[in-house]
């Protein structure tokens, strides 16, 4: 059972480039979320989804897009990368009913 899988694990981009961070889960969880964690800081919610076809904004959504076409996949798109988006990105999923998050290993993203 793979759990939550994030790809890539590391990425370096130039300012202005776009890219998609992939996230897939095989636990049939309805809820999926993306967080960013800056060095020495907490986890800030970017976007989340409560089911296929349903997404909503978190605390820091600007500069990011998401879609949820299937229960399993929840990709995060950076539209035009900026140095302020240098961070570690975590994807998480959980079942319904006040259940805890299951995390992927994270994507370490640097924007030059």
**Residues at the interface with other proteins (CB under 8 A):** 31, 33, 35, 41-43, 45, 48, 50, 56, 58-59, 90, 92, 94, 98-106
Nearer to other proteins among residue 14 and residue 42 (C-beta): 42
Nearer to other proteins among residue 16 and residue 95 (C-beta): 95
For the bound state, the minimum distance from the C-beta of residue 15 to other proteins, rounded and expressed in Å, comes to 26
For the bound state, the minimum distance from the C-beta of residue 86 to other proteins, rounded and expressed in Å, comes to 16
For the bound state, the minimum distance from the C-beta of residue 59 to other proteins, rounded and expressed in Å, comes to 8
Nearer to other proteins among residue 78 and residue 104 (C-beta): 104
SS3 110: strand
Nearer to other proteins among residue 74 and residue 106 (C-beta): 106
- The CA-based dihedral angle spanning residues 43, 45, 49, 55, taken in that order and rounded to the nearest 10 degrees: -160
CA distance linking residue 84 with residue 9, whole number of Å? 19
Report CA torsion sign: 52, 49, 21, 101.
Answer: negative
Find tokens 């296929």 and name the residue: 52
């Amino acid at each position: 059972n793979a759990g939550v899988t994030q790809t890539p694990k590391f990425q370096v981009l130039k300012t202005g480039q776009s890219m998609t961070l992939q996230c897939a889960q095989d636990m049939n969880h309805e809820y999926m979320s993306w967080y960013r964690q800056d060095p020495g800081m907490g986890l800030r919610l970017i976007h989340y989804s409560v089911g296929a076809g349903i997404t909503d904004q978190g605390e820091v959504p600007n500069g990011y897009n998401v879609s949820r076409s299937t229960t399993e996949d929840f990709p995060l798109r950076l539209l035009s990368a900026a140095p302020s988006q240098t961070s570690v990105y975590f994807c998480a999923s959980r079942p319904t009913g006040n259940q805890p998050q299951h995390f992927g290993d994270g994507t370490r993203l640097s924007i030059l």
